Amino acid sequence: MAAGEFHLVYQPKFHVDAFAYESVEALLRWTHPVHGAIPPGEFIPLVENTTLIHLITEWVLHTALAQLAEWQTQGLDLAIAINVSARNLEHPDFLKVIRNACSLHSIRLNLLQIECTENAALTGQATLQTLQEIRSMGVRVSLDDFGIGYCNLACLHSLPAELLKLDRSLVAPIVSDMRARALLQSIITLGRAMGYRLLAEGVEDAQVFDLLFSMGCDEMQGYYLCRPIPADAVVAFTQKWVNAGDENFSVPCVAISEIAL
Ligand code: C2E
Ligand code: CA
Ligand code: CA
């Protein structure tokens, strides 16, 4: 961190109801001077076992909020999501850290989303309580990698979240596998009936996009729509979308693929 080897990239989320990109997820990148790019899937699990995760999450939070403030001055109206670990939620000062960061960067609390995995959210009563407090502050909570963890059907009744992010392993097979499609449709229908928003991760092609569109998914994210991109490319991407939006409105996937490629 001190050597400036970390940076964030941003993956836009497509909101089906608004037919627009209304939020982005911040994803951490580490470029090591000797080993090159090290993916977060390799170093985050190691850092999560140490107290360094608090410093990293705080750095991500501040960097993402400073970027959001910068976009706001350029007229971009977005919400931003950051990923947090179970250990962050267990830290007694975590709420204070969030509140202070939002106030420092003059960001409304409801423009911040906290993403944690379903398993991290369900580690214990204290974590659930923290997530509820985060929500009552006005910050949004999303459950990441949803559908592959501990949560059973009874859990759906009272998850401390607004948004469930359906794991891409549930999304990828829906074109070729009827049972996978039936499973995903059931989760979407049940989740929405319980008052959650549903986001599909890992949307990689037009066929998957079209199916999810017809299945009533609220939000989508994936390489087909947009890969994680640097901050300055977010401005260009969303601008291009706004300009192309009207004429292609009736053919969503064509419009999106033209923009994404
Ligand atoms: P995640 O939160 O589930 O993030 C989604 C991952 O899937 C990202 O990988 C993203 O680049 C990738 N992805 C997005 N769309 C597609 C797609 O269409 N197809 C495929 N195959 N992959 C797609 P990334 O950036 O390598 O991050 C991996 C994981 O590392 C994240 O999974 C998250 O758990 C963790 N992570 C990333 N940044 C942070 C961070 O700042 N803090 C913490 N605690 N964890 C982070
Ligand atoms: Ca995530
Ligand atoms: Ca995920």
The answer to whether position 1 is within a domain reads: no
pLDDT at 252: 43
pLDDT at 259: 46
The answer to whether position 96 is within a domain reads: yes
pLDDT at 30: 97
Cα end-to-end distance, the chain, whole Å: 32
pLDDT at 125: 86
The answer to whether position 187 is within a domain reads: yes
Structural domain harbouring 148: 6-260
Q: CA–CA separation, 139 vs 259, rounded Å?
A: 30
The answer to whether position 198 is within a domain reads: yes
Ligand located closest to 118 CA: 3
Alpha-carbon torsion 161, 212, 68, 247, what sign?
negative
The answer to whether position 118 is within a domain reads: yes
Residues with CB under 5 A from ligand 2 (ion): 83, 115, 144
The answer to whether position 214 is within a domain reads: yes
Average pLDDT by stretches of 10, the chain with 261 residues:
96 93 97 96 95 97 98 95 96 97 98 93 87 97 91 84 96 96 96 96 95 96 95 88 54 44 38
Q: CA–CA separation, 100 vs 67, rounded Å?
A: 16
Q: CA–CA separation, 28 vs 62, rounded Å?
A: 13
Pick from 90, 8, 7, 17: which is nearest to 49 by CA? Answer: 90
The owner of tokens 């939000």 is: 219
Q: CA–CA separation, 14 vs 213, rounded Å?
A: 11
User: What is the number of domains present in the chain?
Assistant: 1
Distance in Å, CA 27 to ligand 1 centroid? 6
Tokens representing 53?
């995760």
The type of residue at 135 is R
The domain that holds 147 is classified in CATH as: 3.20.20.450
Ligand located closest to 55 CA: 1
The answer to whether position 192 is within a domain reads: yes
Distance in Å, CA 159 to ligand 3 centroid? 17
Residue ranges around ligand 1 (CB below 6 Å): 11, 27-28, 39-41, 44, 60, 83-85, 115, 144-145, 168, 202-204, 221-223, 228
The answer to whether position 231 is within a domain reads: yes
Pick from 69, 66, 63: which is nearest to 28 by CA? Answer: 63
Pick from 253, 261, 234, 254: which is nearest to 16 by CA? Answer: 253
pLDDT at 233: 94
Counting atoms of ligand 1 from 1, which one is nearest the CA of 117? 34
Tokens representing 250?
């009736």
Tokens representing 80?
């931003």
pLDDT at 243: 63
**Most informative mutation of 14, 24, 27 for ligand 1 (most atoms within 8 A of CB):** 27
Task: Say how far residue 189 (Cα) sits from the centre of its chain.
Answer: 21
Q: Which run of H or of E encompasses 116?
A: strand 112-117
Look at the pTM and tell me if it is higher than 0.85: yes
**Most informative mutation of 21, 83, 114 for ligand 1 (most atoms within 8 A of CB):** 83
